[in-house]
Chains A and B, each alone.
Chain A
Amino acid sequence: MSAGRTAPRVLRAGAVWLVRLVVTVLGVLTLLFFLLRLSGDPAAVLVGPGGSQEDIDRVRTELGLDLPLWTQYGTFLGDVARLDFGVSPHTGEPAISAVLARLPLTLQIVGATLALAVLVGVPLGMLAAARARHASARAVTAAASIAQAMPNFVLGLLLLLVFALWLGWLPSYGAESPLHAVLPTLTLAAFTVARVVRLVRAGLLEAIEQDFIRTVRAKGGGRLRALARHALPNAFPPVLAFLVVDSAYLLSSTVIVEQLYAYDGIGKQLVDAIFQRDYPIVQATVFVVAVLVVAVSAIGDVLGALVDPRVRREAAG
């Protein structure tokens, strides 16, 4: 616990995180590199159906695709180290800039989803636990079950129908204004918020049975204090663990949800790139998502250690 040991511990945690980042990103990109090579000859695709064998050979030499696979892999890694994923053959823009330009839109709906999970999911979960037998709590729990069970493309179509077509309250496609982010966010958030409600409820119902809650009551603390100040932090670790895993899931769900609402984030960009065989964009997207996922799990570790002193000690080992 002494301050003198804190600095090296933070440094060590930082070093561990860096190693994890490099290993994960390297693994994902290596896999992607070989899978893309297995999926067919990019030169033939680029030249198109009408091209002659000479054209294909020329493109192949230009792109270095005639070199041995290991040489290509080495070049690829060297490029990645410089964050150079090549240029999109369709727009002529460097792939990484194209992806980073779209990233804020995706982060907007994923971030809003996580915020809803905490600001709406946690209070509803507390309500569901505090008044477990009350009708309002039952309604919350039932609603959470339904939201959790509904696939996001079905929910997305439903929301589109009701709020864009019938009521006309919200735009049905595009990403020009924050208003355009509302329906994609709701579609994305339904599962996450529902899961958080259920996790908080289950965690609280378990925590409330613990001896230390009785101690709080013995000290004269009311039910609300016992629930919010003592049970809730103890119910938090599973919620945090879920949100970390779910962040990765949310990033991949944007592929569907952004497509549905023609929302111009990296999910829609990725789908478009795959259909156009735009490998630089695909690789840059995968790289950015891998970095994000590792970063989120690192943030999760830090938050977990902040909440639970026992985790801090384990980490110090």
Chain B
Amino acid sequence: MLEVKDLVVTAGGVRIVDGVSFEVRPGEVLGMVGESGSGKTMTMLAVAGLLPGPARITGGTAALYGTELTEARLERIRGRRIGFVFQDPATSLNPLMRVGAQIAEVLRIHGLGRTAARRRAVELLEQVGIGPERARVYPHELSGGMRQRIVIAMAIALRPALLIADEPTTALDVTVQEQIMRVLRAAQRETGAATVLVSHDLGLVSEAAHRIAVMYSGRLVETGTADEVLGAPRHPYSAALMRSRPRIGAGRGPLPVIPGHPPAPKSRPPGCAFHPRCPVALARCAQEVPPLAGGVACWAVQDG
């Protein structure tokens, strides 16, 4: 069970994640969606304590089964209680190390002996659909999809309580995406991990997620079950996002787009960050940030 409360991440004096709160229950998949730059990845990197150089957590807390995830604690439990699958499998493996050894490394770090780690690494390879003979190959000898299976094997090696998958299929061929999602969901079911699936791909999220959180400009704007958010989105941004998604049988004609661009965090407008692009914005929207209440952060919904 992951509980995140009022998380703030600051980089260069700018809040790139601005007061985000959510929960993920054991066995549940939370789909975190939003355009690029909306802060989804930063939120999850912050939870795992993996923020890049200039970014820092400057507010809020994250707790896993009631224990607060401090930096010192994360150093001990990362890889064991928290598994992370990254976006680009081409760069997330060490090019100079055999893949079997890279899987075994996470087990060795958390106390397994050499032989036991090696044996378990082979089991994990089989679990993600790779023959044990591939343990001795190097990353460049594998396809992107195969490499991502290796990363997944590392992430689930110690049956983590929390599994974070950050755009796990974005860098892959469409034909491979489906397979990787199947491997990931099987791993998630097998480990029973609370899972956060970060993606800009609504189709992917709609198939895999039980609940959905929509982010815009570093803030959460809507949360709910997958059916609610995808079927009847309440926030104008979520609604626009759903409309702009290509669907089979939707007829010809251009896809509806959201006019304008998402703001960079440093030029985020006051009030609701979406109000300059919002078709139903009220005067109040430009002045006060709407709180997330009843699963939606929108004055027009809450007042209307």
Residues A216 and B94 in contact in the complex (CB < 8 Å), given A309-B140, A310-B140:
yes
* A295 and B86 alpha carbons, distance in the complex (Å): 43
Q: Which of B82, B83, B138 contacts A309 (CB 8 A)?
A: B138
**Segment at the B interface, from A5-13, A51-59, A66-74, A206-214:** A206-214
Residues A307 and B96 in contact in the complex (CB < 8 Å), given A220-B77, A220-B78:
yes
Interface pair B105/A221, CB less than 8 Å apart: yes
Q: Residue-by-residue, is A202-234 near B (CB-CB < 8 Å gives 1, otherwise 0)?
A: 000000001110111111111001000010011
Closest chain B residue, CB of each to CB of A308: B96
Chain A contact residue count (CB 8 A cutoff): 22
- Chain A residues near B110 (CB-CB < 8 A): 220
Chain B contact residue count (CB 8 A cutoff): 33
Q: Which of A222, A230, A310 contacts B94 (CB 8 A)?
A: A230
Interface pair A217/B88, CB less than 8 Å apart: no
A219 to chain B, nearest CB (A): 4
Interface of chain A, main secondary structure = helix
Q: Which of B88, B97, B136 contacts A211 (CB 8 A)?
A: B88
Say whether B227 faces chain A, with CB atoms less than 8 Å apart: no
Say whether B79 faces chain A, with CB atoms less than 8 Å apart: yes
Residues A219 and B140 in contact in the complex (CB < 8 Å), given A212-B91, A212-B95:
no
- Chain B residues near A230 (CB-CB < 8 A): 94, 97
Say whether A1 faces chain B, with CB atoms less than 8 Å apart: yes
- Chain B residues near A225 (CB-CB < 8 A): 109
Residue with the highest number of chain A CB atoms closer than 10 Å, among B79, B80, B83, B137: B79
Interface pair A219/B86, CB less than 8 Å apart: no
Interface pair B78/A211, CB less than 8 Å apart: no
A13 to chain B, nearest CB (A): 19
Say whether B198 faces chain A, with CB atoms less than 8 Å apart: no
* A222 and B78 alpha carbons, distance in the complex (Å): 10
* A309 and B99 alpha carbons, distance in the complex (Å): 12
Interface pair B140/A215, CB less than 8 Å apart: no
- Chain B residues near A1 (CB-CB < 8 A): 136-137, 141
For chain B, residues 61 to 109, give those with C-beta under 8 angstroms from any C-beta of chain A.
75-80, 82-84, 86, 88, 91-97, 105-106, 109
Query: Which residues of B does A touch, CB under 8 Å?
Result: 48, 50, 52, 75-80, 82-84, 86, 88, 91-97, 105-106, 109-110, 136-138, 140-141, 151, 154-155
The 7 A-B residue pairs with the shortest CB-CB distance, nearest first, are A220-B79, A211-B91, A219-B106, A219-B79, A218-B84, A309-B138, A212-B94
